[in-house]
Structure 1
């Protein structure tokens, strides 16, 4: 015989008693981010992304690859080389 017992309103769960087994089901706690949480996440992402000029360069490499004017391994090597040079503070960096 299955019996269902409700806990008090604040508990947020249900207990089901079966022969030899008792199961408790609880409502999961969900975290809903606030506007400030989302704004700080967006700022963190903006801090990692390259500037507009570098993004335009990467888009150009992608366009050349999509048009078939450059093979993708060559475009990838150029893109990685530019990214490494900018991180190292080489002549390609501002």
Structure 2
């Protein structure tokens, strides 16, 4: 358990450092919800680290082989982190989504 906490703490520190360093860029572009930016800043990297550790542990217990478990975990975490980003506020996709939810 301490390995997972250490990994999450390290990932959180790296994400905080990246968020601090990229703050001027974020103010200039005002695009915090693109797929790359959202997954690299805030608490999302900590969630990905905990997901990878937990999934790797479970897959390792089920597969009982190190390299196949690492491969399955790597593919699963990369797939989870590549989920489509939500539409940017003010975009046409966002307007369509708002109209759909308003009609309910």
TM-score above 0.5: no
Greater strand content: 1
Q: TM-score, normalised by structure 1?
A: 0.34
Q: Greater RCO between the two (CA within 8 Å, min separation 6)?
A: 2
Larger radius of gyration: 1
Greater helix content: 2
